[in-house]
Amino acid sequence: MSRPTIVLVYQRLSLPWVFEGARRAGIDIVLIPRRDEEIDPARLPEAVVEVLRLDLSDRTAALAELRRRHREAPFDGITTLCDPEVPFVAEVAEALGLPGIGSGTAQAAQDKRVMRERLAAAGLNVPGFVRLDGPDSETDASALTFPVVVKPARGFSSLGVVRVDRPGDLSDALAEVRRICRTNLGRAEDLIVEEYLDGPEYAVESLAYRGEVRVLSIGYKGEPTGPYFEETVYRAPAALPEATVDAIEREVVAAHAAIGLTDGPAHTELRLREGKRPFLLEMGARVGGSGVSHHIVAGAVGADLAADALRIAVGREPERTTTVAAGAAANYIVPCGGSGRITAIHGLDELRDHPSVDHLVQILHPGDVVRPYPDFTGYPAFVLSTHRSTAEAEQFHRHLDESIRIDYAPEGAES
């Protein structure tokens, strides 16, 4: 059987899991790198056989170029781990007759307004919400119970996500989120306002093939209360009663059906109201965290999420192979802890040879400017580790809370 080829959109080389998964799956990668990433041909991952520079801000021209490339040297699939590019990847797959989730499913997985409507229509747990369509639309939030959360409809990470405690503060919050969207997304984004969900937060990694959904892992994500929602931890498996695990799995499987996600990976984030009842925050049609979710699944349950997701993306059946799991896997997302121009990051170098640390991915460096939340600059670093238990992972994260610190100067200061 010949080696299939897949186009991989906007994957950073510093995040290795999908490249390693492609090698294990015997799949060649044509990489479309991010515009801001320098590529050293001598240091490309083994699976990358070609680098194709495309400007995805012009989707029509990018699709035309991919059509030309496919005619001259056909590829077997296209995928991305970058959430904003999921709809474009689905459009390309449809246009070229490649395996994919379909543009309708891609829209539902990326547009929180559509997702909420589909989940509600399927009878799933959904908070009260109103949608704001258009840059100048206003909302009557009188039917909602405050506090509420304002979100860009097609945002990512914590960009523009803000809790509003009083009706009188909503108008100012909407204006601020729209300003952030114009600055970061180049558009005055449509918004959604939904009732705030309290309770602990969890992430679920799943993989679907021809409508059969396998829930691979459930991990603890903390209990952020706002007003902003900076991510800090991810530890799996979560310590939950069997009945709660069953409720989460039922909700996630039903959400796959409601959104129409029958093939490929999903990264779902949810909250447990009163610690028992799952309410989905969002479901991404991709391997989460640009591949971090593979590390979590592999360390917690031994499944090869990255390789199987790529197999599905080129139209092959997942092999569902497993390895011996460490017992628990974790990601410590270094918190910004402030804003301004970074002058120093303390505590990372000491972790590079730590026996529990599998990967240390530094994304921000001295000289970079961090904007204050609810703006979103990026994550300073990921500290990915494996442990014998989630209790041990939690203890390690408490140590990192005390040992990692970022120093800032005012934004206008020289680096």
- Residue 200 and residue 273 in contact, taking contact as beta carbons nearer than 8 Å: no
Q: With bands split at pLDDT 50, 70 and 90, how would you rate the model's confidence at 414?
A: low
Q: How does pLDDT run across 218-244, given as a tens digit for each residue?
A: 999 999 998 999 899 999 999 999 999
Which is more confident, 138 or 275? 275
- Which helix (H) or strand (E) segment holds residue 382: the answer is strand 381-387
Mean pLDDT is lowest, of 43-57, 80-94, 167-181, for 167-181
Tokens of 314: 């080129």
Residues of the chain with CATH 3.30.1490.20: 128-195
- Residue 288 and residue 204 in contact, taking contact as beta carbons nearer than 8 Å: no
- Residue 253 and residue 204 in contact, taking contact as beta carbons nearer than 8 Å: no
Most confident residue range from 1-10, 153-162, 196-205: 196-205
Q: Specify the pLDDT at position 282.
A: 95
Tokens of 121: 């229509």
48-51 sheet: strands from edge to edge: 48-51, 28-32, 5-9, 77-80
Q: Specify the pLDDT at position 413.
A: 63
- Residue 297 and residue 235 in contact, taking contact as beta carbons nearer than 8 Å: no
Of the chain, the end-to-end C-alpha distance in Å amounts to 53
Report residue 413: phi and psi, to 5°: -70, 150
Q: How does pLDDT run across 194-220, given as a tens digit for each residue?
A: 999 999 999 999 999 999 999 999 999
Asked if pLDDT for residue 40 goes beyond 80, the answer is yes
- Alpha-carbon gap, residue 287 to 267, rounded angstroms: 6
Q: Specify the pLDDT at position 169.
A: 94
What superfamily in CATH does domain 128-195 come from? ATP-grasp fold, A domain (3.30.1490.20)
Most confident residue range from 158-167, 172-181, 254-263: 254-263
How buried is residue 365: exposed, middle or buried, by Cβ count under 10 Å (0-12/13-18/19+)? exposed
Which is more confident, 175 or 203? 203
Q: Report which of 86, 79, 96 is spatially closest to residue 18, judged by C-alpha positions.
A: 79
- Which helix (H) or strand (E) segment holds residue 400: the answer is helix 390-403
- Alpha-carbon gap, residue 35 to 54, rounded angstroms: 8
Q: Specify the pLDDT at position 398.
A: 98
Residues of the chain with CATH 3.40.50.20: 5-101
Q: Specify the pLDDT at position 139.
A: 75
Residue 21 CA: distances (Å) to CA of 48, 78, 85, 178: 12, 15, 20, 38
Q: With bands split at pLDDT 50, 70 and 90, how would you rate the model's confidence at 1?
A: low
Tokens of 256: 């796959």
Q: Report which of 377, 349, 343 is spatially closest to residue 362, judged by C-alpha positions.
A: 349
Residue bearing tokens 């390693």 = 20
Pick the CATH number of 5-101 from 3.40.50.20, 3.40.50.450, 3.40.50.10240, 3.90.105.10: 3.40.50.20
Q: With bands split at pLDDT 50, 70 and 90, how would you rate the model's confidence at 152?
A: very high
Q: Computed from CA positions of residues 243, 248, 250, 251, in that sequence, does the dihedral angle turn out positive or negative?
A: positive
Helix, strand, coil percentages, rounded to 5, for the chain = 35, 25, 40
Residue bearing tokens 């592999």 = 298
- Residue 18 and residue 306 in contact, taking contact as beta carbons nearer than 8 Å: yes
Hey, how many other C-beta atoms are within 10 angstroms of the C-beta on 133?
Answer: 10
3-class SS of residue 59: helix
Asked if pLDDT for residue 108 goes beyond 90, the answer is yes
Q: How does pLDDT run across 14-24, given as a tens digit for each residue?
A: 999 999 999 99
201-409 carries CATH number 3.20.20.140: no
